[in-house]
Amino acid sequence: MIRVLLVDDHTVVRTGFRLLLETVSDVRVIAEADSGETACVRFDEDKPDVVVLDLSMPGMGGLETLRRLRARDKEVKTLALSAHDDAIHARRALKQGALGFLSKRTAPETLLEAVRMVAAGQRYIDPKLAQEIALAEVGGATLVDALSEREFEVFLRLANGAAVPKIAAELNLSTSTVGTHLYNIKQKLHAGNQAELTLIALRAGLIER
pLDDT in tens, 84-130: 777 788 888 888 889 999 988 887 788 999 999 999 999 998 777 77
More confident residue, 91 or 70: 70
Collect all residues with Cβ–Cβ distance below 8 Å to 105 and sequence separation of at least 6.
Answer: 83, 85
More confident residue, 73 or 170: 73
- Region of 58 (left: φ > 0; alpha: ψ -120 to 50; beta: rest) is beta
pLDDT in tens, 153-201: 899 889 888 899 999 988 888 999 999 999 999 998 888 888 888 888 8
Alpha-carbon span 118 to 51, nearest angstrom: 9
CATH class of the domain at 143-203: mainly alpha
Q: Is the pLDDT of residue 7 over 50?
A: yes
Looking at residue 131, its pLDDT comes to 62
Query: How is the chain split into domains, by residue range?
Result: 2-139, 143-203
Collect all residues with Cβ–Cβ distance below 8 Å to 3 and sequence separation of at least 6.
Answer: 28, 30, 46, 47, 48, 49, 50
Looking at residue 208, its pLDDT comes to 66
Amino acid at 32: E
Alpha-carbon span 148 to 163, nearest angstrom: 20
pTM of the prediction? 0.72
Name the residue among 81, 25, 60 with its Cα closest to residue 153: 60
Is 156:185 a contact under the CB 8 Å cutoff?
no
In this structure, CATH architecture of domain 2-139: 3-Layer(aba) Sandwich (3.40)
